Chains A and B, each alone.
Chain A
């Protein structure tokens, strides 16, 4: 299995966003900025949509579950790489967390329309490559690649 590592080769442009925990009112702002930036670069609509879903679900996850984290987007000639890192409780059982319908989200998250246990499966679904690593009590790291 591939391990999580940032691939610094052939990066044309990098985007970086800090995401705060529990900031539900601003959740989605980073994903919106990423989408707008990629649209300006004339990235095709279907690719744009997959990246938007991946970053938005990741952003929501950071707000709901982490103590704060970052989203880095590497724009490359043949693909977009998304790196999500957080400081937080970590995921005890990744296989379970990847199961549709499984969620540990709070009531607040559910009121926002999330916590349905679809976030990680959605992120995997829209990615051509998906790597998740987590350490209990430390945090979680996710790499997603969308190829043009």
Chain B
């Protein structure tokens, strides 16, 4: 699914690396546990999380993830934004909850990873 399309259907704000909107992801994974993300997520996955700290960006970097969507109105700090720009990782934010956003994306055809 095109990340630009995801941005539109959930009305997300772009916070870092806007060129990333042109890319596509195949699956999504929602979690605040970065170790679970490291355990299960393959690349081409959208990470959906309410956790905002440097380790979220680092986790995405380790897994070559292209995009992170922050839920519940969480906004990453400036250091996170500049690290994401540096690593070419698209950061988006939405006011909706993890559950609601996941439901909207699922309804539009996006699926989770297989565990």
Binding site for B on A (CB under 8 A): 24-25, 27-28, 31-32, 35, 45, 49, 52-53, 56-57, 60, 111-119, 121-122, 125
Contact = CB atoms under 8 A, between A and B. Distances in A.
Given A118-B35, A125-B39, A113 B64 contact: no
Given A28-B55, A121-B39, A122-B39, A112 B61 contact: no
Given A27-B55, A56-B59, A116 B64 contact: no
B62 A113 contact: no
Given A53-B62, A56-B62, A113 B39 contact: no
B61 A119 contact: no
B26 interface: no
B107 to A, nearest CB: 28
B51 A113 contact: yes
Interface residues of B, number: 22
Contact of B61 (A25, A28, A111, A117): A28
Contacts of A114: 33-35, 55
A117 B38 CA distance: 12
* Residue among A53, A113, A114 facing the most chain B CB atoms (10 A cut-off): A113
Nearest to B87: A32
A112 B62 contact: no
A57 B55 contact: no
Interface string B23-55: 000000000111111110001000001010111
A49 B35 contact: no
A113 B59 contact: yes
Interface in B42-87: 43, 49, 51, 53-56, 58-59, 61-64, 79
Nearest to A115: B35
Given A113-B51, A113-B53, A57 B35 contact: yes
B58 A45 contact: no
9 contacts: A24-B53, A31-B62, A52-B63, A53-B63, A57-B35, A113-B33, A113-B53, A116-B34, A119-B35
